[in-house]
Amino acid sequence: MRESYVDLVNIRRQVFAKIAQIAFEEGSLSDLERASFEILPGEVARYRDSIFRERAIVVERLRLSLGLEVRRPSEYHLVSDGLSEIDGDEARLILPLINVITHACEACPTKAYLVTDNCRKCLAHPCTNVCPVNAVSIEKNQAVIDQDKCIKCGRCKTTCPYNAIVLFERPCAEACGVNAIGSDELGRAEIDQDKCVACGRCIVFCPFGAISDKAQIYQLIKALKSRKNMYAIVAPSFLGQFGPLVTPEQIFEGIRQLGFIDAVEVGLGADLTTLHESEEFIRRVPEEIPFMGTSCCNSWTLMVEKMFPEQFDYISDSASPMVYTAQSIKAKDPDAIITFIGPCISKKLEALREDVKDYVHFVITFEELMGMFVAKGIELGEIEIDQEIEDSSSLGRGYAVAGGVAEAVRQTVLALEPDREIPIEGASTLHDCVRIMTLAKAGRRDGYLLEGMACPGGCIAGPGTLASVTRVRRAINDFKNKATHATPLEKYR
């Protein structure tokens, strides 16, 4: 979607860059309203019906990028409300993480079957004949569906010989695999936070940019300016995100130029996850548990916890690559302040967990990192560096692509126990994650290793990414081939 939603991507980048600029230059947060004029100058609206509405929405984006609450149009709040709570060098995340900017939402119609101009008013009238509630009628120009009667069974669509009936769905709701998108009293999108697993697909698919998550870049930059023990750990999907000609080494050096002591591949932690999950699968399946799910994707894990609580124990006890990487740094530098940089916004919630918060202190996306590069004036392609990156094995670097986690575990299990059978199945949308867990709950995936990822194609399609999955997948394959070690077993044993 990023390739076609260019205007939304540009607005988000300008917002992140403006917040980063204020932090780097130690400007006043009270200038937020003026910032909206700098991002959207002039008197003529570019994207909506009014320049004033456009700026009001940008102000909410600025507030969310600071980690503040989104304001509702029906309530009186100053732009500066809450600034004192987040003005510091420690991460502040005021839940909920994902929010609807209500005055940006266009109250799109919810799921409906509609008749298009392709209707020929055919003699057979199959659409009226198959409708169980008589919701379809033939009028002067074409068939018409009474939405008050329609039960959304789809029989009319299936039977139409001209494919004249289409299913229309609200983009954010269609993308949500856990049915967390509803409507408020005015028909605008509303998120059920009890169901939401922070996958961020609604953010990606909303064509009006009405949904956004909260960021920590302001506090992170403050920490970079005030502390000396800042480390960045970078998810395997960073390849190709910052331009086709920018090398991995240039990206890592650019991160250091922001003020980090060092940048480390999260592929390092992926190798450790592979070793732990392989040992766990050998030990627990099927003696203790009928199947095992991977532990890497936090949205997948949250989905299982919320929708399949009885099977939650079947998710691997291993920590995620993010956590293992942070722990390895902490073992060398106990005072380290660690920032995870990746494609995922759900990691912001994972970092709040009691068993994680002492290791991972900030979480930002590649998109937010780009805003920091822009604010700092860092041109990655102009950086000269010959230092190679050698933190992870080839299998660890493959975690970013759907199937990479399961394949790494499968190869490791077979290396440890050559006669062991390890059937695997993967899902790389939440819709598919729910499907395979439903089958597993019914006993139809016993003995399996199940890899769950919330984003299509894996982490390379996360909501915080910048580039097409095709470019990133190709760059990851090239980077895998440059790894010194093929497997984590070669690296650690």
Q: What is the CATH number of the domain that holds 129?
A: 3.30.70.20
Residue 197 lies in a domain: yes
Instruction: Evaluate if residue 424 carries a pLDDT over 70.
Output: yes
Domain span at residue 438? 228-492
Indicate whether 176 belongs to any domain. Answer: no
Sort strands 230-234 and 337-342 into parallel, antiparallel or unpaired: parallel
332/409 same-domain check = yes
Per-residue pLDDT band for 492 (boundaries 50, 70, 90) equals: confident
SS3 158: helix
Compute the average pLDDT of residues 442-453: 98
- Identify whether 206 is part of a domain: yes
Joined together, the tokens standing for residue 313 give 């124990």
Q: State whether 120 and 260 are in the same domain.
A: no
What average pLDDT does this structure show over 416-420? 95
When pLDDT is cut at 50, 70 and 90, the band that residue 3 belongs to is low
pLDDT at 1 over 80: no
Task: State the residue for tokens 């956004």.
Answer: 212
User: What value does the CA radius of gyration of the chain take, rounded to a whole number of Å?
Assistant: 24
- Same domain for 157 and 235? no
Q: Which two tokens stand for residue 361?
A: 């202190």
Question: Is residue 173 a part of any domain in this protein?
Answer: no
**Backbone conformation region of residue 227, classed left if phi is above 0, alpha if psi is from -120 to 50, else beta:** beta
What pLDDT score was predicted for residue 35? 93
Based on the structure, what is the number of domains in the chain?
Answer: 3
252-297, pLDDT tens digit by residue?
Answer: 999 999 999 999 999 999 999 999 999 999 999 999 999 999 999 9
Q: How confident is the model at residue 92 (pLDDT cuts 50, 70, 90)?
A: confident
Which residue in 270, 312, 320, 276 sits closest to 295, CA to CA? 320
> What's the average model confidence in pLDDT over 466-493?
94
Query: Domain check: are 376 and 472 in the same one?
Result: yes
Same domain, 102 and 52: yes
Nearest to 365 by CA among 295, 272, 467, 253: 467
**Are residues 309 and 163 part of one domain?**
no
| Structural domain contains residue 331 | yes
- The whole-number average pLDDT for the span 411-432 is 96
Report the DSSP pairing between strands 165-168 and 143-145: unpaired
On whether both 246 and 325 belong to a single domain, the answer is yes
Q: What is the pLDDT of residues 431-440, one digit of tens each?
A: 999 999 999 9
Mean pLDDT of the chain: 95
pLDDT value of residue 31: 79
Q: What is the pLDDT of residue 28?
A: 84
Cis peptide before 96 (omega within 30 of 0): yes
H or E segment to which residue 488 belongs: helix 488-492
Q: Are residues 326 and 397 in the same domain?
A: yes
List of residues 6+ apart from 253 with CB closer than 8 A: 383, 385, 387
3-class DSSP state of 323: helix
Quick: pLDDT tens for 113-143. 999 999 999 999 999 999 999 999 999 899 9
pTM (2 d.p.): 0.94
Structure tokens at 197: 């697993």
DSSP letter at 343 equals S
* Pair 124, 93 in one domain: no
Q: Tell whether 71 is covered by a domain.
A: yes
Residues 238 and 369 in one domain: yes
Answer yes or no: do 286 and 212 share one domain: no
- Identify the band that residue 2 occupies on the pLDDT scale cut at 50, 70 and 90: low
**Residue 401 DSSP symbol:** B
Query: For residues 156 and 134, is the Cβ–Cβ distance under 8 A?
Result: no
Quick check: 355 pLDDT over 90?
Answer: yes
Q: d(Cα 319, Cα 325) in Å, to the nearest integer? A: 10
3 state DSSP class of 162: coil
Q: What integer pLDDT is reported at residue 249 of this predicted model?
A: 97
Q: Please provide the DSSP assignment of 270-315 as one string.
A: HHHHHHHHHHHHHHHTTTT-S-EE-SS-HHHHHHHHHH-GGGGGGB
| pLDDT for res 81 | 87
Residue 240 pLDDT exceeds 60:
yes
The 10s digit of each residue's pLDDT in 166-191 is 999 999 999 999 999 999 999 999 99
Average pLDDT score over residue span 79-84: 86
In single-letter form, the type of residue at position 9 comes to V
Contact 59, 257 (CB under 8 A): no
174 domain-assigned = no
Helix, strand or coil for residue 375?
helix
Rounded CA gap, 323 and 310, in Å?
25
Reported as a pLDDT band with limits 50, 70 and 90, residue 72 is: confident
Please, which residues have CB within 8 angstroms of residue 395's CB and are 6 or more apart in sequence?
270, 271, 274, 404, 407, 408, 411, 412, 486, 487, 488
**pLDDT tens track for 137-160:** 999 899 999 999 999 999 999 999
> Is 223 part of any domain?
no
Average pLDDT rounded to a whole number, residues 220-236: 96
Q: 5 pLDDT exceeds 90?
A: no
Q: Are residues 461 and 358 in the same domain?
A: yes
Confidence of residue 73 (pLDDT cuts 50, 70, 90): confident
Q: Is the pLDDT of residue 200 over 60?
A: yes
209: left (phi over 0), alpha (psi -120 to 50) or beta: left
Say what the pLDDT of residue 159 is. Answer: 97
CA-closest candidate to residue 304, choices 442, 173, 437, 432: 437
- H or E stretch including 463? none
Interval 38-63 mean pLDDT: 94
